[in-house]
Structure 1
Amino acid sequence: MSGKLATTMSARPWGVDRLPPPFLSPADERIGEVWFTPPAALDALLVKYIFTSQALSVQVHPCDADAPAGSRGKEECWYVIGAQPDAKLGIGFKQALSADQLREAALSGEIEHLLDWHPARPGDFFYIPAGTVHAIGAGISLIEVQQNSDVTYRLYDYGRPRELHLDQGMKVALGERYPAALHCHVPALGNADLVNGPHFRLDRIDGAPDPATAGRYHGAVLVLPLDAALLVHGQTIAPGECALAETMRAVEFGAGRSLITQPVG
């Protein structure tokens, strides 16, 4: 069924007391995620907002081939929409680590300091392949588009009383530097082709998509307005919401910017 997707706000210990506009903050809850229920037509894809007041755990996700039976792997990407001046994202390592060095660093907590912490600014975009060790730092608001999977292996959690998954994580973690080609800064204006496979495609649209962008999208798409409402099948979709459109032709883009995405394959 097309139209606006249901929204869930999830409390997290690293979440924020006050959500940025246009979201309304529930009383007495630290909201860390606002995610949209994947529609049956595109259930391989999950879209969410993430808001942090503390760093998330150092973690890694498997690829499809290494995921538990019956589960997908998890590749994801981050589009930063807000960041405090000192906000950072930990992705990959400053230098290559062997499997033994990586395990020892996870056990000692040194892994936090061995990560390569990238400054985060609104408009920054990072693609995170499966196997990439990563952590989202404090003071960041971002939109995450990912394979719809909850398989996460925590390697370090700053002393929080949560389970770690060192054995599973060590089987899939890459002790490597993060490829610079997977990071870019999206200009404030204009269209940007952000991801084109292997698991999903993603574009940032400024106004209406150009013919080349629209031509990459066949069938159902998810649409997230960023700074102005648009119409999907005649229904108004406001910033902070997400909608399923049966085709790109069902979307009436306004003058604002938006994200469009769909699974590949």
Structure 2
Amino acid sequence: MSADDALGRRPVKLPANQPERFYRGGAAIAALRGTEPREFGPEDWVASCTTLHGKRDVGLSALPSGTLLRDAVAAHPEDWLGATHLARHGTDPALLVKLLDAGQRLPVHCHPSDRFAAAHYGSRYGKTEAWVVVGAAPGASVHLGFAREQSAETVADWVARQDTPAMLGALNEVPVRAGDTVFVPAGLPHAIGAGVFIVELQQPTDLSVTLEWKGFLDDAAGGHLGLGFETALGCVDRDGWADRLDTLVHGDEEGAAPVRDLFGAPEFFRAERVRAGAELAPSFGVLVTLSGTGVLRTEHAGDVPVSAGETFVLPHAAGATTVDGDLSAVRCLPPA
């Protein structure tokens, strides 16, 4: 791949981008990609223009030429993003995509809303997210939202005492399997269980309020990101969700359609399950190929072969694209 991959005129295949994290995992990512597993490589940040919280460049994706994708987009924004996206979001792709393989249960945590992030973290974006379950071990589950409403005092007490049984016990435990989709609005406390492998779409920040920090982070400051829990816990959704889980979790609806929308949250991000015969409108996007092989037939960049385990960043300037072959993939897109 030459330096031309930075111009934003053709799809670019990306290498893995796995910053070291505080929890174990990554075997499923290695199996999908055909690489060697890393004990603390549970996340692959795909086509990332976002850094880990408090880091200068950790988390940023590099193109095969060595150019950071963030720099390439800044240099050729209309080719990468398109004029409409530029008018709304500037040169920010407004999207973060990860492969996440939980080798152990993640801690109970949540993410701030746009309003809370702007007021307290100086960030344009909060962090609403959604998951496409790629694989799940037998009996695997996730925890989503409190089953019943909790008082601010109760939640603060659990956090102060680091009462893991109380926090987990108060959340809804939801079994998941491959093909399921899960929407996680900002503020919703959650924890991904061991053995769950997902494609994760997020608003482009690394802002997490970690209620259950002990045993995962070095200290409480990592849990509240410097705000103090008295303030940080103001972002937690303390409502009861037991009767509303069907608005968040949906089973596999795999059918014959070549393109199927996965989430009804176009103000945050979009995702499509893609297979042969798909006709894709021009857009900046991220393609994660889950199985099979095929060809992306682009309007302006020719044919691009694609195989299982490969990830691509797709520029707007490549134009309309059709998909041939037996592949199954997820295309992740910025807000509408």
The residue identity in structure 1 corresponding to 2:311 is: C
> Within 5 Å, which residues of 2 pair with 1:158-173?
158-162=214-218, 163-165=222-224, 166-173=229-236
The residue identity in structure 1 corresponding to 2:216 is: R
Q: Which moved more, 1:35-44 or 1:146-155?
A: 35-44
What is aligned with 2:294? 230
Matching of residue 79 in structure 1 with residue 117 in structure 2: no
* Distance change (3 Å), C-alpha of 1:96 and 1:84: same
Q: Which moved more, 1:40-49 or 1:79-88?
A: 40-49
> How far off its partner does 1:199 sit?
1.3
More strand by percentage: 1
* Distance change (3 Å), C-alpha of 1:218 and 1:63: farther
What is aligned with 1:11? 20
**Gaps in structure 1 of 5+ consecutive residues:** none
What is aligned with 1:22? 32
- Asked if structure 1 preserves the Cα contact closer than 8 Å seen for 2:277 and 2:322, the reply is no
TM-score (norm 1): 0.87
Correspondent of 1:243 among 307, 312, 334 = 312
The residue identity in structure 2 corresponding to 1:173 is: V
TM-score (norm 2): 0.70
- Asked if structure 2 preserves the Cα contact closer than 8 Å seen for 1:90 and 1:117, the reply is yes
The residue identity in structure 2 corresponding to 1:177 is: G
Correspondent of 1:127 among 156, 161, 183 = 183
**Gaps in structure 2 of 5+ consecutive residues:** 1-7, 49-68, 74-79, 82-92
- Asked if structure 2 preserves the Cα contact closer than 8 Å seen for 1:51 and 1:139, the reply is yes
Q: Which moved more, 1:90-99 or 1:176-185?
A: 176-185
What is aligned with 2:211? 155
Q: Distance in 2 between matches of 1:80 and 1:264?
A: 21
What is aligned with 2:147? 94
Matching of residue 193 in structure 1 with residue 261 in structure 2: yes
* Distance change (3 Å), C-alpha of 1:161 and 1:62: closer
Q: Structure 1, residues 33-53: CA drift from partner, whole Å, max 9, x if none? A: 112133534621111111112
> How far off its partner does 1:208 sit?
2.5
For the residue of structure 1 that corresponds to 2:256, the secondary structure is coil
Correspondent of 2:272 among 178, 203, 214 = 203
- Asked if structure 1 preserves the Cα contact closer than 8 Å seen for 2:150 and 2:239, the reply is yes
> How far off its partner does 1:189 sit?
3.4
- Asked if structure 2 preserves the Cα contact closer than 8 Å seen for 1:71 and 1:149, the reply is no
The residue identity in structure 1 corresponding to 2:272 is: D
- Asked if structure 2 preserves the Cα contact closer than 8 Å seen for 1:74 and 1:148, the reply is yes
> How many residue pairs were aligned?
260
Aligned-pair Cα RMSD in Å:
2.4
For the residue of structure 2 that corresponds to 1:259, the secondary structure is strand
Q: Which moved more, 1:161-170 or 1:76-85?
A: 161-170
Percent identical pairs in the alignment equals 25
